[in-house]
Amino acid sequence: MAQQTTSHRYWLGGKRAAEQDRFFRDALDALGWEPGDQDNWDAAWFTGMPDPDQFKRVSPQRKLNHFPGNNALTVKSRLHDSLAALRERMTESFGPSHDAVSRLAFFPRTYAMPKDYHVLQQAALEDPDKRWILKPTNASKGKGIRVLGDVAEAPLEPNWMVQEYLAEPHTIRGHKYVLRLYVLVSSIEPLRLYLYRQGFAKLASEPYDINDADNPYSQLTNPDINALNTTAEIPVEFIDLERYRQWLRDQGHDDERLFEQIHDLVVLTVISAVDAMRRRTAECSANPQDVTNCWASTAWWTATSSLGSWSAT
């Protein structure tokens, strides 16, 4: 039987690399979909945040890959603000020793430049052995990230932030790693999310050494950075979750309990931002039950040496 085709149109918008489009075009062209534009689409995949008017076009038959206000999750500084606000509300409601508050202790203290600069200086004076990491508030692929030798090196522009550095990360064969997980938020009213079963660990290309803080191949796990390491035998290494979990079991760790904790952190992270997304959706006059969003998590979970606590980095 011949495959039926549709007259649906797709729009791929925003600032993006050309190779990003290939996967969508290959899948949709084969199903008979046709390219559209910003004024004529049934499904839109937008890199960045689309114009607010585009959200008014969304309906049960017309899909868009964003929620208004999802930068409360996807921008590093906004993510910290979302989590910190939720922890503050939980503390006020239940007290600082409540389980709900302890479950929100997984993310590091963050200092937004320039408003938190003097607070950061004081924190560094009180704990001179603590390490710090500098990050752009809204960037990707490891751009601009580096470990600070002195907090005075932090730029005072508002698009930068400084976080406490996890100085004793869990390692695989001595290499620092992070886990990349994918979460689909299909509705914000009611809140509905799904954690994709597949994911992977991303390894740094050189062994971790806290005293080698200026070496990005030892300190950072971003593939775009490690791909430049011409001396590494395997500059970019991914380990899928199935192999990773088997490795944890081989090391004597309880992978089931660990991933239950990770699932809890994912839920708490999305909950921390849902009110902001609902407010922004209302401001855009969009129907929250129609808008769909596929969110690739920007919270990368890095284990400590004991695998007993986790930090969003």
Nearest to 202 by CA among 167, 163, 170, 176: 176
> What is residue 134's three-state secondary structure?
strand
Which pLDDT does position 159 carry in this prediction?
94
Strand partners, 303: 310
Of 170, 165, 131, residue with least CA distance to 306: 170
Q: Which amino acid is at 73?
A: L
Please tell me the distance from the alpha carbon of residue 105 to that of residue 86, in angstroms, as a whole number. Answer: 11
The confidence score (pLDDT) of residue 3 equals: 54
What pLDDT, on a 0 to 100 scale, did the predictor assign at position 313? Answer: 44
The pLDDT value recorded for residue 296 is 33
pLDDT exceeds cutoff 80 at 286? no
For position 312, what pLDDT does the model report? 43
Q: Tell me if residue 104 falls in helix, strand or coil.
A: coil
**In the structure, what pLDDT confidence band is assigned to residue 133 with cuts at 50, 70 and 90?**
very high
Count how many residues are written for the chain: 313
Per the CB < 8 A criterion, the answer to whether 299 and 79 are in contact is yes
Q: How far apart are CA 57 and CA 154, in angstroms?
A: 43
Q: Where are the domains of the chain?
A: 9-69
Question: Which tens digits make up the pLDDT trace of 154-166?
Answer: 999 999 999 999 8
Give residue-wise pLDDT tens across range 10-62: 999 998 887 888 988 999 999 999 999 999 999 999 988 889 888 888 888 88
Higher-pLDDT residue of 3, 162? 162
Q: Is residue 201 within 8 Å of residue 216, measured between CB atoms?
A: no
Per-residue pLDDT, averaged over 127-141, amounts to 91
CA atoms of 71 and 48, how far apart (whole Å): 9
Q: Which residues does residue 63 pair with via DSSP β-bridges, in sequence order?
A: 43
CB 162, CB 110: distance < 8 Å: yes
| Mean pLDDT, the chain, whole residue set | 87
What's the CA gap between 255 and 59, in Å, rounded?
40
**DSSP state at residue 128:** T
3-state secondary structure of 56: coil
The predicted pLDDT at position 288 comes to 57
Q: How many CB atoms lie within 10 A of CB 97?
A: 8
User: Is the model's pLDDT at 153 over the cut of 90?
Assistant: yes
Determine contact, residues 179/172, Cβ cutoff 8 Å: no
* Region of poorest pLDDT, from 92-101, 154-163, 277-286, 295-304: 295-304
pLDDT, tens digit (0-9, with 9 covering 90-100), for 157-216 = 999 999 999 888 999 999 999 999 999 888 898 899 999 999 999 999 999 999 999 999
Of the pLDDT bands very low, low, confident and very high (cuts 50, 70, 90), residue 260 is very high
% the chain with pLDDT above 70: 89
Q: Does residue 179 contact residue 168 with C-beta atoms inside 8 Å?
A: no
Spatial distance between the Cα atoms of 274 and 298, rounded to a whole number of angstroms: 16
How many beta carbons lie within 10 A of that of residue 144, not counting itself? 13
